[in-house]
Amino acid sequence: MDNPSLDHLLERARRGKHGGIEHFLSAVYPPLHRMASSICGSHHAARTVLRNLLRKALDRLADWSDDIEARRWLVHHLIQECRTLPAAGPSGAQTDPLRSQPDGTAYAAMIAALRSLPPQQQEAWILWRLEGFDLRWQAIAMDCSTTAATTHREGADQTLRKLTGESYDALLEKVRHAHLSLAPPPPMALQRVAASVGGVLLRRRVMGWIKRVTQIVLAAFLIWIVYWIWKLMRQ
């Protein structure tokens, strides 16, 4: 999870450098979007989750000391945001992001079985099998113990293996490929970040400018008052 370039972007964002916040958020947006899309089972739901998440992240940027701490918070709260929306079910198969391409009956059955699992089993399996999270990171993301995380992911795995049999590994690779393809390219990520938080950032920057100008005007006024008091005292 260590990423020196992401640490640099985070530092620029924390220092308020021009475009720093937008570039940091656009760097973390693609993996967050693919996670939200696969967990929610909907592109529309994923964009809603990311919009809410990024706006909350604006208030936490100053608290993150490095990119690992930032990712830990972002993934944990992404899962929480996903849980506020209706869980994906088999009835949404035609619009499921993991069914974005023709894939055959066996693949479709596996995705339908995945969506039939309890929500926490879906989360656990996606984070483990598709994102490659280790047990500790998965437990942090899901806000549960490592024991519970193990139970959720192994329960999901057993169900899907029982359904697919010897085809499991081959179908898993197809699902993983579909999942990874859900990450938007950098230009699109930057556009979506701008759409999600651009207005909020503009308002904050305008208010910051107003505050600074007000402080300068007040300082100048106080200097003027002191000057005239000093002038009157010398008369």
Per-residue model confidence as pLDDT tens for the chain (235 residues) = 445 588 899 998 888 776 888 899 999 999 999 999 999 999 999 999 999 999 999 989 889 989 999 999 999 999 999 999 876 555 555 589 998 655 678 999 999 999 999 999 999 999 999 999 999 999 999 999 999 999 999 999 999 999 999 999 999 999 999 999 999 999 999 999 888 776 666 666 666 677 778 888 888 888 888 878 887 777 6
Please name which of 49, 47, 40 lies closest in space to residue 95, comparing C-alpha atoms: 40
Cα dist. 178→37, 48, 49, 63, 163 in Å? 11, 21, 20, 34, 20
> What is residue 193's DSSP assignment?
H
CA 108 to chain centre: 27
For residues 179 and 127, the answer to whether their CB atoms sit within 8 Å is no
